[in-house]
C-alpha cells in the first residue's frame, strides 16, 4: 500500500506545478458554465412547464460540472500510460514488484484529482457571487452534503475504473484512437456531460440511468441540487457501488488476459 501511496503523491506533486494552466482553466470553465446556464435559461423562458429541473437546480448542476470537470471528463486519458503501451516501455513496469492495474489506477486518480484540487474552489466562489437564478447555492442541508460527498467519490472512482478498461484494451489493439472515439461518444453523452439526463426523453432516460455512465457525474450533481432525494439517493449510490465493483472485476480480469498475451517488439 505504501508504494501506491507514493505513486499518488508523486503524480499529484508533478501536476500541481502547472499553475498557469490552472488559472487559464478556471477562467475557461467559469465562462463556459455561465454560457450553458444562459442557454438553458432561454429554453426555460420559452417553455418553463417542459423543464424537468428548476433553473436553480440546473445552475448548481452546471457549476459543479465545471468545478469538478477534471474528475469526470471522460475524454481525458493519461498520455503517459498510452505512450508506455505504444512504445513498449510497459516491459519495465512488468519487471517491478507491483500490481500494474493498481499503479495505473492510482496514477489516473492522482492525475485527475490534482487538476481539480486547484480549480473547484475558485469556480464555485465566483459562481456564488452571481445573481439568482444563475448563482451556485452553498446552503444545502448537512445530510444532503454528506450524501453528495459519498456520491462524488463513488462517481469519481467509477470514471477511473471505466478509463482503466480503455488502457487495458489498448494493450490488445496498440492504438487508442478508436477506443477514444467510442469512449468520448458514449461516456460524455450518456453520463450527462453534454445534456443533463433528466432532459432526455423518458423512454430513453429510464434505460440510460441504469448504465454505468449515469453513475458518474450525473448522480452526485443531481443529489446536490436536490433533484435526486429521499430513497432515490440510496438507490443511486447503491448503483454506483454496484458498477464500481463490476468495472474493477472486469478490469482486473482483462488486465491478466492482456498481460498473458502481451508482446513487446524487439524483445
Contact 189, 216 (CB under 8 A): no
Q: Is 52 domain-assigned?
A: yes
Between CA 229 and CA 174 the distance in angstroms is 44
Residue 68 three-state SS: coil
Comparing CA positions, the residue from 12, 245, 217 lying closest to residue 112 is: 12
Q: Domain of residue 155: give its range.
A: 2-260
* DSSP label of 228: S
pLDDT at 122: 86
> How do residues 223-257 score in pLDDT, each as one tens digit?
998 888 888 899 999 999 999 999 999 999 988 88
pLDDT at 16: 59
Contact 57, 226 (CB under 8 A): yes
Q: What is the mean pLDDT of residues 101-114?
A: 85
Q: Is 86 domain-assigned?
A: yes
% of the chain at pLDDT higher than 70: 85
Q: What is the mean pLDDT of residues 186-200?
A: 85
Q: Is 265 domain-assigned?
A: no
Q: What is the mean pLDDT of residues 11-30?
A: 68
Q: In terms of pLDDT, which residue wins out, 237 or 85? A: 237
Q: What is the dihedral of CA 53, 130, 136, 25, to 10 degrees?
A: 110
User: How many other CB atoms are there within 10 angstroms of residue 31's CB atom?
Assistant: 11
pLDDT at 240: 96
Q: In terms of pLDDT, which residue wins out, 69 or 97? A: 69
- Output the CA–CA distances (angstroms, integers) from residue 145 to 128, 149, 163, 196, in the order listed: 17, 6, 27, 20
Number of Cα atoms under 13 Å in the Cβ half of residue 221: 31
Q: Is 149 domain-assigned?
A: yes
Cβ-proximal residues to 123 (8 Å cutoff; 6+ apart), any chain: 26, 29, 30, 33, 63, 66, 67
> How do residues 147-176 score in pLDDT, each as one tens digit?
999 999 999 999 999 988 888 888 877 666
User: Which of the residue ranges 55-59, 112-116, 153-157, 206-210 would you say has the lowest mean pLDDT?
Assistant: 112-116
Q: Is 267 domain-assigned?
A: no
> How do residues 138-147 score in pLDDT, each as one tens digit?
877 888 899 9
Q: Is 33 domain-assigned?
A: yes
Count how many domains the chain has. 1
Q: Is 242 domain-assigned?
A: yes
pLDDT at 267: 46
pLDDT at 154: 95
pTM: 0.86
Q: How confident is the model at residue 199 (pLDDT cuts 50, 70, 90)?
A: confident
pLDDT at 131: 86
Q: In terms of pLDDT, which residue wins out, 176 or 134? A: 134
Angle at 165 between CA 160 and CA 166, to 5 degrees: 95
Q: In terms of pLDDT, which residue wins out, 245 or 116? A: 245
User: What DSSP string runs through 27-39?
Assistant: HHHHHHHHHHHHH
Q: Is 14 domain-assigned?
A: yes
Contact 134, 63 (CB under 8 A): no
Amino acid at each position: 500500500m505504501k508504494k501506491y501511496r507514493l505513486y499518488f503523491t508523486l503524480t499529484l506533486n508533478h501536476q500541481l506545478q502547472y499553475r498557469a494552466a490552472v488559472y487559464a482553466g478556471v477562467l475557461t470553465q467559469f465562462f463556459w458554465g455561465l454560457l450553458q446556464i444562459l442557454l438553458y435559461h432561454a429554453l426555460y423562458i420559452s417553455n418553463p412547464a417542459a423543464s424537468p429541473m428548476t433553473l436553480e437546480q440546473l445552475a448548481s448542476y452546471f457549476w459543479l460540472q465545471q468545478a469538478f470537470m477534471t474528475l469526470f471528463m471522460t475524454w481525458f486519458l493519461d498520455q503517459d500510460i498510452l505512450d508506455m503501451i505504444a512504445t513498449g516501455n510497459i516491459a519495465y513496469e512488468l519487471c517491478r514488484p507491483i500490481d500494474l492495474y493498481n499503479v495505473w489506477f492510482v496514477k489516473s486518480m492522482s492525475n485527475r484529482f490534482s487538476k481539480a484540487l486547484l480549480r473547484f474552489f475558485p469556480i464555485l466562489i465566483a459562481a456564488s457571487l452571481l445573481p439568482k437564478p444563475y448563482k451556485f447555492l452553498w446552503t444545502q442541508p448537512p445530510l444532503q452534503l454528506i450524501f453528495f460527498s459519498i456520491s462524488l467519490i463513488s462517481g469519481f472512482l467509477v470514471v477511473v475504473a471505466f478509463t482503466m478498461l480503455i488502457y487495458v484494451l489498448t494493450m490488445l489493439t496498440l492504438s487508442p484512437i478508436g477506443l477514444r472515439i467510442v469512449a468520448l461518444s458514449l461516456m460524455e453523452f450518456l453520463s450527462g456531460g453534454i445534456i443533463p439526463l433528466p432532459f432526455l426523453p423518458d423512454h430513453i432516460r429510464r434505460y440510460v440511468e441504469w448504465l454505468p455512465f449515469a453513475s458518474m457525474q450525473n448522480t452526485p450533481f443531481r443529489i446536490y441540487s436536490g433533484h435526486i432525494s429521499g430513497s432515490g439517493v440510496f438507490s443511486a449510490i447503491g448503483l454506483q457501488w454496484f458498477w464500481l465493483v463490476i468495472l474493477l472485476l472486469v478490469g482486473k480480469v482483462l488486465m491478466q488476459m492482456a498481460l498473458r498475451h502481451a508482446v513487446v517488439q524487439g524483445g
